[in-house]
Structure formats: structure tokens, C-alpha cells
Amino acid sequence: MKKVFIDGESGTTGLQVRERLINHPNIEIISIDPAKKRDEAEKRRLMKEADVTVLCLPDDAAKESVKLAKEEGCRILDASSVHRVAEGWSYGLAELDVTQRDKIANAQFVSNPGCYPTGVILLLKPLIEAGLLPANGDYAINAISGYSGGGNALIDRYEKEPNAPIFGVYGLNFAHKHLPELEKWSGMAKKPIFIPSVGNFRQGMLTFVPVELGEGVSAQQLHAKLAEVYGKEAFISVNDYNVIADDAAPFLTPHDIDNSNRVELSVFGSADGQSCLLAAKFDNLGKGASGAAVQNLNIMLGFDEKLAVEL
């Protein structure tokens, strides 16, 4: 049995990591006394006892816990947004490329990706790398998240206040905290425009990127590349290629994927062959947070990466 300490076990992400790990055949959770959850000495003791500590904390608290882990030489999987482009950290997106699982397996410090970047990077990285989309293109990314993406504070706002908005666009300062990892790990040569939004539903996420196709490039080629790259991935599927010709088209929704670690990618091409929409659908708390965390823990500890990732 390996031991895992979840620092921040009672938060939105921590609870879901815990719920998954309870069903893990090879991992025992070691928990902090709730009355001591901010006690440094107690954290140190548990970090030393654990094979890996998962940080499910706000950014500032995550920085403090990493300081302790560095002093004690402990392994960390950080779900916060602090270390996603930091030196000395491995990016915890197993499907990033063929080298990434080894990097995660051998790392002392692994950073779980942000929820939105997970979908965008899976869509754009292989296409930019293959030269089907330009690295220096002007990308505009749109996304919608369930309100659990904002943690306990936003959950309370939606579930306890009667007048929470049905839909809201945010990130309107064009400086969302996910921009650095979006740019770095997608292989974009410059900062994209990123416009996230939140809806009055608990879980589920869509990230979508509209692109104009270059000379000699078709939407079918983009679709074929994604299908080839992710063909053997357990958690990534690519829907059949779509040309939506009329108004009777089905909606693309962020629903019906709650608690899963799966990501569904879609490519929609325009009938004139000039435009294309790339879309990723997943659970912001699943592959966007806790599912990915358990997948990463499995890789870090040498287990089958599929163990206990689905709720």
C-alpha cells in the first residue's frame, strides 16, 4: 500500500480526490485532524509519512505547503495554479506527448493542469506541432464552466443565493491566470485571447477554438490528426467528423459527462471548407481537476493510470 496525504481534503477538489481514492486498491489516505488542518508541524509529519502529498489548496496556501515539502524532501502533486509553468515542475497532463508520462513518473514535483487549459492544449498542441495550424496564429479561445470551477466560494454563491446569474462571461481583463500555461503547453508563439464563462450548472466544461483554415488545410485533416494522436488514449475520444449543414444541428453542451475523467474532442467544419470549430467537452472537476489528480498519482506511484479515476 502507498500512502497519500490530501492537504485541503475538505475543499471542492480535495473532496473529489478523496472520494476517488477511497476506492483505490493500492492507496491508503492519511488524513489530517480537521482542527489542525492549518498546523505546520502536523502537515510536515503527514507529508513525511506520505509517498505523495496532493495539494488542493488556494494558491498562497499551496506555496506555503511546497516550502515545507522542499525542506522535507517530499513528493508533491499540486492542484493549484502556482507551478504550471514553473522550473523544476512536471506538467501533469499525461496525454501531452509521448514523453510526458515518464516525466510525471520520475518527478518530485508535479503540477496538475488548469481545467480550461486541459481542453485547449489537447486540441491545439498536436495540430500546431504537425504544422496544420500556425504557431504564430491569432487564437481566440472561448469556454464555459460549471460553477464548481470557482470552488466553495462560487458554489455557495450559486447554491445559497437565489439570484445567481444563469450565464456570465468573465476574464474581461484579458489576463486570466490560465494564459501562461495555455500559451506554453499548446505551443502557441504568442498569448491568445481567452474568454471564459460560467453557467448555472454544477459540473461540466466546454472549451472551443474557432479557426480559419490555411491554404491546403482541411478540417478533415485536423480531425484525422486528433484521431491518430489520441487513438490509443483511454480517456480521450474523438467524435466523428461533423459538417453541420442546417439549423437542426444538435447543440454542443457541457452536460452528461459529470464525474468522469473522459474528454470528448470534436471538429466541426464549415460547408465552404474555410472555417472550423475545435471543441473539448469534459468535467471541470474530473479531467479538469480531481480525475486528473488521481491519474497523475497512479503514474507517480507506478500503478495502472486508470485505477479509481472515475467516480
Ligand X SMILES: CC(=O)N[C@@H](CCC(=O)OP(=O)(O)O)C(=O)O
Among residues 92, 196, 199, 286, which is the contact residue for ligand X, using CB under 6 A? 196
Instruction: Give one word for 308, left, alpha or beta, with left for phi > 0 and alpha for psi -120 to 50.
Output: left
SS3 229: helix
Tell me the closest approach of the beta carbon of residue 173 to ligand X, in angstroms.
Answer: 12
From 128-136, 148-156, 165-173, 220-228, span contacting ligand NDP (CB under 6 A): 148-156
Tell me the closest approach of the beta carbon of residue 115 to ligand X, in angstroms.
Answer: 3
Beta strands in the chain (DSSP E): 2-7, 27-30, 52-55, 76-78, 90-91, 109-111, 140-146, 167-169, 193-199, 205-212, 236-238, 242-243, 263-269, 275-282
153-192 residues in contact with ligand NDP (CB under 6 A) are none
From 35-43, 129-137, 144-152, 247-255, span contacting ligand X (CB under 6 A): 144-152
Q: Is 149 in the site for ligand NDP (CB under 6 A)?
A: yes
Q: Is 12 in the site for ligand NDP (CB under 6 A)?
A: yes
**Annotated catalytic, 115?**
yes
Q: Integer distance in angstroms from the first to the last C-alpha of the chain?
A: 21
Tell me the closest approach of the beta carbon of residue 118 to ligand X, in angstroms.
Answer: 8
Per DSSP, 303 falls in state S
Q: Among residues 74, 68, 72, 121, which one has the least CA distance to residue 95?
A: 121
Nearer to ligand NDP (CB atom), residue 91 or residue 268? 91
SS3 279: strand
Cell triple for residue 37? Answer: 488542518
Q: Is 145 in the site for ligand X (CB under 6 A)?
A: yes
Q: In angstroms, rounded to a whole number, what is the distance separating the alpha carbons of residues 160 and 162?
A: 6
State how beta strands 140-146 and 193-199 pair: parallel
Among residues 27, 68, 115, 127, which is the contact residue for ligand NDP, using CB under 6 A? 115
Tell me the closest approach of the beta carbon of residue 246 to ligand NDP, in angstroms.
Answer: 35
| Partner touching 196 among ligand X, ligand NDP, none, CB below 5 to 8 Å by kind | ligand X
Alpha carbon 132 to chain centroid, angstroms:
24
The counts of H helices and E strands in the chain are 9, 14
| Partner touching 61 among ligand NDP, ligand X, none, CB below 5 to 8 Å by kind | ligand NDP
Q: Is 198 in the site for ligand X (CB under 6 A)?
A: yes
Q: In angstroms, rounded to a whole number, what is the distance separating the alpha carbons of residues 279 and 144?
A: 11
Q: Is 12 in the site for ligand X (CB under 6 A)?
A: no
Nearer to ligand NDP (CB atom), residue 46 or residue 61? 61
| Partner touching 58 among ligand NDP, ligand X, none, CB below 5 to 8 Å by kind | ligand NDP
Among residues 17, 50, 54, 56, which is the contact residue for ligand NDP, using CB under 6 A? 56
Cα torsion angle, 71, 77, 80, 86, sign: positive
57-86 residues in contact with ligand X (CB under 6 A) are 80-81
Residue 232: C-alpha distances to residues 226, 228, 303 (Å): 11, 8, 18
Percentages helix, strand, coil for the chain, rounded to the nearest 5? 35, 20, 45
Which entry of 56, 74, 115, 276 is annotated as an active-site residue?
A: 115
Residues of this chain that bind ligand X (CB under 6 A): 80-81, 114-115, 145, 149-150, 154, 178, 196, 198, 288
For the annotated catalytic residues, the residue numbers are 115
Q: What does the binding site for ligand NDP look like in residue numbers (CB under 6 A)?
A: 7-8, 10-14, 37-38, 56-59, 61-62, 79-81, 114-115, 148-149, 151-152, 284-285, 288-289
